[in-house]
Amino acid sequence: MAYDKFTVLTSSAVPLPIENVDTDQIIPARFLKATKREGFGENLFRDWRYNNDNSPKEDFVLNNPIYSGKILVGGKNFGSGSSREHAAWAIYDYGFRCVVSSFFADIFKGNAINVGILPVQVSPEFLDKIFTAIEADPKTQLEVNLPEQTITILATKEKEKFDINGYKKHNLLNGFDDIDYLQAMKSEINTFAESSVY
């Protein structure tokens, strides 16, 4: 078991209405030198969050105390670029458990689930509604319900279904991961390997 179970998360959210947020922004390469997975939260969005002299950039959302919560809401095509799982670790380590966007890059989406972050893909219209709701009230609560596969803006009761495959859902609900699954089928893998071309 690799991470905490995920069932229903009710929280305020942090808005980042920028498109194509790539993993080099989430965690710049120069911070990838660690050999452990903890501690990356400190450098999450480093170059958007801090000036060169390490003073916080006032206008960046993570530095604005009115926004907080365990849900990060990003613009379209979130997590493009490098396969670095460090990006997902940084988001998790900072305290987020869920990322909402209207579109995710493939590798990031897989990495997120593998570290226990739920990526919730919503329609562009619903994404706009979320941004509007947060703008109206930075403390507005979102409910992400994994068993039901729904996300709700509690203030307005607006709700949308999201997709996740049954296998991954089961994993997240129970805190299982793929390695547990694969370890259980080693003899099958061995047989396959013996007959493979390479």
Task: Give 124 or 137: the residue with its C-beta nearer to other proteins.
Answer: 124
Q: Is residue 146 within 8 Å of residue 7, measured between CB atoms?
A: yes
Cβ density class 85-107: b for 16+ within 10 Å, e for less: bbbbbbbbbbebbbbbbbbbbeb
Q: Rounded distance, CA 84 to CA 55, Å?
A: 26
Which is closer to other proteins, CB of 12 or CB of 28? 28
Between β-strands 150-153 and 158-161, what pairing exists: parallel, antiparallel or unpaired? antiparallel
C-beta of 26: minimal distance to other proteins in Å? 10
CA–CA gap between residue 134 and residue 69 (Å, rounded) = 12
CB nearer to other proteins: give 65 or 166. 166
User: Parallel, antiparallel, or unpaired: how do β-strands 8-11 and 150-153 relate?
Assistant: unpaired
User: Nearest distance from residue 73's CB to other proteins, in Å?
Assistant: 15
- Pick the closer one to other proteins by CB: 42 or 181: 181
Q: Where are the beta strands (DSSP E) in the chain?
A: 8-11, 13-16, 71-74, 98-101, 118-121, 142-145, 150-153, 158-161
Shortest Å distance, C-beta 175 to other proteins: 14
Least distance in Å: CB of 174 to other proteins?
14
Q: Which residues bind other proteins (CB under 8 A)?
A: 2, 18-20, 22, 24-25, 28-30, 32-37, 47, 52, 75-77, 80-86, 88, 103, 105-107, 110-111, 114-115, 165-168, 177-179, 181-183, 185-186, 188-189, 192-193, 196-198
CB of 88 to other proteins, least distance (A): 7
Identity of the residue, 33 or 157, whose beta carbon is nearer to other proteins in the bound complex? 33
Helix, strand, coil share (%) of the chain residues, nearest 5: 35, 20, 45
